[in-house]
Copies of this chain bind each other. A is one copy, B any other.
Amino acid sequence: MSEHDGGLVLADQPLRVRPCSVAAALDIVGERWALLVIREIGYGVHRFARIAGYTGASRDMLADRLRKLESAGIVERRQYSEHPPRFEYHLTEAGQELFPVLLALREWGDKWAVDQPAIQVRHDCGHLVKSVLTCQHCGAPVTRDTVTPERPATFRATGGPDRSPSGRALS
């Protein structure tokens, strides 16, 4: 992306908070515990006590995050016992589609944040995963140097409020 101060995409933009899908995504999942809970459910751990144990979240913290993730349409509860009432937590389609975010965080963390990865991820081809972002259209890698941000011609600066996957407006 452009390196001069101001940035390409900003040529016509006043200096005010940038409406942005990254920010909107972070409003929903931009919190350490939320992403760790999603990681854990993605590993196939669906029960409250185990999610708490593997993430290190306190019961109150976890209950709060699960409620928010459910209300945002990322996680859904499924009852597996009636007496007493007990629930498992599963990822919705929106939750499952956070896989690239978690994989990108994992690969960055493997390289820059730990001495030695504690878990590695193997691809079906038999190799450990080292992922490359490629363009769905041309198949070439998508890197910082091969993309340009721009404002959509149709963007309405006064567009409606951001919405969560459940369709509810976010606070």
Contact = CB atoms under 8 A, between A and B. Distances in A.
A96 interface: yes
B144 A136 contact: no
Q: How large is the interface on A (under 10, 10 to 19, 20 to 34, 35 or more residues)?
A: 35 or more
Interface of A: 1-10, 15-32, 35-36, 39-40, 42-47, 49-50, 53-56, 73, 88, 94, 96-125, 127, 129-138, 140, 142-144, 146-152, 154-156, 159-160, 162-165, 170
24 contacts: A1-B43, A3-B44, A5-B45, A15-B50, A18-B118, A21-B117, A22-B105, A25-B108, A28-B113, A94-B108, A96-B144, A97-B108, A97-B112, A101-B108, A113-B163, A115-B162, A116-B155, A116-B156, A119-B152, A120-B149, A120-B150, A121-B148, A122-B150, A124-B147
